[in-house]
Structure 1
Amino acid sequence: MHQDTDSGIMASVENKRAPGAPFYTPVQSPPAGTALDPATAPTLYQPLKIKDMTLQNRFVVSPMCQYSADDGHLTDWHFSHLSQFIIRGAALTIVEATPSLRTGESHLYEDSGLWKDSQIAPLKRIVDFAHSQGQKIGIQLGHAGRKASTLAPWLRSGGKPGIVASKEHGGWGDNVWAPSAIPVVEDDFAMPKEMSTDNIKELLQAFKDAARRAVEAGFDTIEIHGAHGYLITSFLSPITNHRTDNYGGSFENRTRLLFETIAAVREVIPASMPLLLRISATEWMEYTGQPSWTLEDSIKLAKLLPAAGIDLLDVSSGGNNEAQKIEVHPYYQIDLTAKIREELKKDGINLLLGAVGMISNAEMAYSIVQEGKHEANGFSTSEGHTSKADLVLMARQFLREPEFPLRVAHQLGVEVKWPIQYHRAGWRKNQKI
């Protein structure tokens, strides 16, 4: 408080502290990335409530493996990497794929981990920072399955996708788990062991323990990784799952591990916490004429997810077979998401969807989530336009442009909140950037 010497009026000025933060930082009210006039903003800048978690816009930072952890413990690299998105308006940032078992890592000790309590503290540091900025943060839990015990990608040679790490370098190629003993690529990945029922029980308990630790760290949401050829994917696919017990054969049996994982996680997290799932909607192996995991299987699965406890389905594709054939174009995965949404609506099933893959500009992000007719600074959607997804998830685009939510807002002509410390940095109206 200070005395105005000219008027004699007492004035009070307070740089308010962010509530609950374990360190001083000014309160961001509203959080960066919030539309200042949400009533006229496009859907991309409308709030979205998922159980007790409310996002101020529809931008999500996808999990991005950094292969930079120390025995599963996140480091200052991860804090720096993730905080750049948190302060620049991403409504939800998801920490990279995090195994619940030591042998669930894909890249040795360099992967993030949640298989022991000491790994909670560095995660909580990032969670606390996100919350101090008014933003939400999640973590993706998974298991690498038959892709485990490989070297970091920049250590591989000859363009090979795998390269098994030796025991000398901390590998465990003799104890890699999978539904069946089928390697990703012979000689480039380990020959996996078919999981026993005891292994499956151990895995489910590990997911449960990791979810408990995630809650203790303060995360707002958890995503289960069921995509890209990792363990859950390989159980779903008849190409990689040749089991003859209750976890193989029929669609019901091949999806059993996924549903048991969902139940294990749901058992230990608050009922109010959203639970997300990422899947590969297709293996892109239909051309072979042989049984594989297809879009039709994903639609069937999606219809069962709300009752199982999933609040949002994050739709990716591929990653389980080197022989996959993809006709790549900017919307090749967005179209999969749209088809799932269309089929869910036919049955009156409400399940939020996230779109991912090659989203790199304002027009794409805007059109994917926009519901109904709208005009925004030269961008527009027509009468009857329906959204393909509720959220857009990006990784590489955020690496290129950490300020992507702020940049897109400027391009769409939407006035949004910047971090208060950056209040002088906003672009002028109609300024070309």
Structure 2
Amino acid sequence: MSSLFTPFTLRSLQIPNRAWMSPMCMYSAAPEGEETGVPTDFHLTHLASRAAGGAGLVMAEATGVRPDGRISPWDLGLWNDRQQAAFTRITAAVKAHGAVPAIQLAHAGRKASVDKPWLSDRYLSGSEGGWQPVAPSAIAYDGLAVPHELTVEEIQQLVRDFADSARRALAAGFQVAEVHGAHGYLINSFLSPASNHRTDAYGGSFENRLRFALEVVDAVRAVWPEDLPVFFRTSATDWLTENPEDTREGWTGDDTVRLAKELQARGVDLLDVSTGGTVRDAKIVPGPNYQVPFATQARQATGIPTAAVGIITEPRQAEDIITSGQADAVFLGRELLRNPYWAQHAALALDAEPTWPDQYAYVVKRRKR
């Protein structure tokens, strides 16, 4: 029996398999006006098609908890009633195809206010529809604007913003909330000593740098039902210590283990393990499974369930990750953009039972005759 296509239970939620859709920004929402940040028919089709394609969990892209939390002006948001109402169509469609709807709640921090990546990916000024980013310290991300250094009062408001978005996510029908603490965005920039140079309660020591992340988790967990899971996405390393030419102190796999213990104690049910920084600058050549060992390290050291990412493209590859205990689930990103029905084809390749919609199954089965 295929391990990849066995159910996975977290709290009271049973996820039908362990092949999940990773959150991927589509830069397709309205950038201004009443429809700002509102999911469109494109988002509905994009997410529902992966559910029909057999993914056990479908996670909506990084969704800004407030306007300046978006990566770009075209990102999704969840800070008002119009956005919340539009998301209900998406969660209903994902559930109708047997998948679990999940959402990644995010604030882009110092990497916010940028152009679409296929255009320029550059910082957009206020006159171009952008805004000043915010961060724990006034340290610019490479090539972007110097951010506003958050005050303690502003940090505490951000904690409330995450909680408010989580309430809206629940009302919209999502069954999993993921806190985005990776990829150099706001929470991650508090964690890493390379971007957090504060000297107050939110900077300096390891414990202080964790404070904002843990406060956000506590606030989200407080408004999220006890019987539904909360995920946390982390960058297990920012690849600074792996780069012999970079003298900055960075975030490491061992730091991630320490963070995982704290998250687990606060009710986080699964660690979504990615990495941050630039692999190229660290002289690392990404290959299949290149981020999986970090998920394994956290899982083995703490017992927290993990999901792995990183150039996972083949059914047998994903199966081996689960069977060998390297992770409890896999998140697929670009491969699901190439093939929305990857999970259905993977089930066939692994002698599991596909879950084609009836409208498709009739044709598929008839073709076999």
Q: TM-score, normalised by structure 2?
A: 0.94
Q: Output one character per residue of 1:329-349: Cα deviation in whole Å (capped at 9) or x when no partner.
A: 2121012212222222xxxxx
Matched residue, 1:236: 191
Matched residue, 1:314: 272
Would the aligned equivalents of 1:204 and 1:261 in 2 still touch at CA under 8 Å? yes
Matched residue, 1:24: none
Matched residue, 1:135: 99
SS at match of 2:105: strand
2:334 to 388, 396, 405: 396
Correspondences of 1:264-283 after superposition (within 5 Å): 264-283=219-238
Give structure 2 stretches of 5+ with no counterpart.
31-35
2:194 is aligned with 1:256: no
Matched residue, 1:417: 355
Aligned equivalents of 2:155 and 2:101: distance in 1?
Answer: 29
2:133 is aligned with 1:176: yes
Matched residue, 1:54: 14
Matched residue, 2:118: 154
Deviation at 1:134, TM superposition (A): 2.6
Would the aligned equivalents of 2:65 and 2:78 in 1 still touch at CA under 8 Å? yes
Aligned equivalents of 2:280 and 2:145: distance in 1?
Answer: 15
Matched residue, 1:192: 147
Matched residue, 2:54: 89
Deviation at 1:391, TM superposition (A): 0.6
Aligned equivalents of 1:53 and 1:82: distance in 2?
Answer: 20
Would the aligned equivalents of 1:100 and 1:113 in 2 still touch at CA under 8 Å? yes
Structure with the greater alpha carbon radius of gyration = 1
Matched residue, 2:240: 285
The residue type paired with residue 351 of structure 1 is I
The residue type paired with residue 176 of structure 1 is P
1:78 to 23, 30, 43: 43
1:164 to 108, 123, 131: 123
Aligned equivalents of 1:52 and 1:299: distance in 2?
Answer: 26
Would the aligned equivalents of 1:228 and 1:320 in 2 still touch at CA under 8 Å? no
Matched residue, 1:99: 64
Matched residue, 1:360: 313
Give structure 1 stretches of 5+ with no counterpart.
1-40, 157-161, 345-349, 371-385
Matched residue, 2:33: none
Deviation at 1:90, TM superposition (A): 0.8
Would the aligned equivalents of 2:298 and 2:304 in 1 still touch at CA under 8 Å? no
Would the aligned equivalents of 1:184 and 1:322 in 2 still touch at CA under 8 Å? no
1:331 to 266, 270, 289: 289
Would the aligned equivalents of 1:234 and 1:320 in 2 still touch at CA under 8 Å? no
Deviation at 1:152, TM superposition (A): 0.9
Aligned equivalents of 1:355 and 1:428: distance in 2?
Answer: 36
Aligned equivalents of 1:205 and 1:245: distance in 2?
Answer: 20
2:77 is aligned with 1:113: yes
Matched residue, 1:373: none
Would the aligned equivalents of 1:318 and 1:324 in 2 still touch at CA under 8 Å? no
SS at match of 1:406: helix
Would the aligned equivalents of 2:134 and 2:150 in 1 still touch at CA under 8 Å? yes
Would the aligned equivalents of 1:208 and 1:264 in 2 still touch at CA under 8 Å? yes
Deviation at 1:321, TM superposition (A): 9.0
SS at match of 2:4: helix
Deviation at 1:167, TM superposition (A): 2.0
2:174 to 212, 219, 231: 219
Aligned equivalents of 1:168 and 1:43: distance in 2?
Answer: 52
Deviation at 1:428, TM superposition (A): 9.3
Deviation at 1:244, TM superposition (A): 0.2
Segment drifting more, 319-328 vs 391-400:
319-328
Q: TM-score, normalised by structure 1?
A: 0.80
